[in-house]
A and B are shown apart, each in its own frame.
Chain A
Amino acid sequence: MTSLHTITKPPSAAALQSCAKFLSEGDSILLLEDGVYYSADANNWPALPLGTKVYGLKEDFVARGLSKIVDRQVELVDYARFVQLSCEHDKVVSWL
């Protein structure tokens, strides 16, 4: 059972730090809304299990002027891919 974890709050809310403790093999992370600021703060990321894919919602990076400084661990995706990722994983866990 894999999960897509969505992070929508800025690094100050530390949702990624909590989420990282509970990741299983095959889980992925999607940064969106203010969660995209994690990309600018990659030095402070918690350790993620090897092979964890990190995606970022392109629209939110562009809106915030971050699209040219995307961390190399982050793969930008659009809404169409966001929907596909929700289908490819067994559930979506939103860290509100």
Chain B
Amino acid sequence: MKFSLVVYSAPYSSQSAATALHFAQQLLIQGHEIYRLFFFGDGVHNASKLAVVSQDETHIQQQWDSLIAENNIDSVVCVSSALKRGIINLEESNRHDLESISLSDSSEIAGLGQLIDASINSDRLVNFG
């Protein structure tokens, strides 16, 4: 089946990000397709590449990044949530004259239309927050 997942919570503040990650891994194990990951609200922090996590803790952002890159998954952070939370790609960094880039290379910034598109074109859309 074609699944899309929406993640509303930041990692470490809530268990939901880890639940979503576990669910996504299990989807792939069972041979389902992930049509899109959509990070919304505080969920955009899951796509930060600037997090440093101590070795005895799960590095959730890094696990998302590997999952997305290795399986070539379409991963989107909501533009209106991301920019105000400092989740910035090269394009936005240049446009706003910022010094840094924080968005993982495996995700892109896009609008809420991508969430609506996912709700139309997936068999199941599952929210985690």
On A, residues with C-beta under 8 Å from B are 8, 32-34, 59-60, 79-80, 82-84, 86-87, 91-92, 94, 96
| B28-39 Cβ-contact flags toward A at 8 Å (1 or 0) | 011010000000
| B7-43 Cβ-contact flags toward A at 8 Å (1 or 0) | 0100000011001001101110110100000000000
B47 to chain A, nearest CB (A): 19
* Across-interface contacts of B15 in A (CB, < 8 A): 8, 33-34, 60
B78 to chain A, nearest CB (A): 16
State whether A32 and B19 are in contact (beta carbons under 8 Å apart), knowing that A87-B1, A94-B126, A94-B127 are contacts in the complex: yes
In the bound complex, do residue A80 and residue B30 qualify as a contact, i.e. CB atoms below 8 Å apart? yes
Q: How far does the alpha carbon of A91 sit from the alpha carbon of B32 in the complex, in Å?
A: 15
On B, residues with C-beta under 8 Å from A are 1, 3, 8, 15-16, 19, 22-23, 25-27, 29-30, 32, 124-129
B104 to chain A, nearest CB (A): 24
In the bound complex, do residue A83 and residue B26 qualify as a contact, i.e. CB atoms below 8 Å apart? yes
In the bound complex, do residue B127 and residue A96 qualify as a contact, i.e. CB atoms below 8 Å apart? yes
Within the complex, which residue of B16, B22, B29 is in contact with A8, where a contact is CB–CB below 8 Å? Answer: B16
A-B contact pairs, 19 of them (CB 8 A): A8-B15, A8-B16, A8-B129, A32-B19, A33-B16, A33-B19, A60-B15, A79-B23, A79-B25, A80-B26, A80-B29, A80-B30, A82-B23, A83-B26, A83-B32, A87-B32, A87-B124, A94-B127, A96-B8
In the bound complex, do residue B30 and residue A83 qualify as a contact, i.e. CB atoms below 8 Å apart? yes
Residue of A32, A60, A86 with highest tally of chain B CB at under 10 A: A86
Beyond the given A8-B19, A32-B19, A79-B25, please list 5 additional residue pairs across the A-B interface where CB-CB is below 8 A.
A79-B23, A82-B26, A83-B32, A94-B127, A94-B128
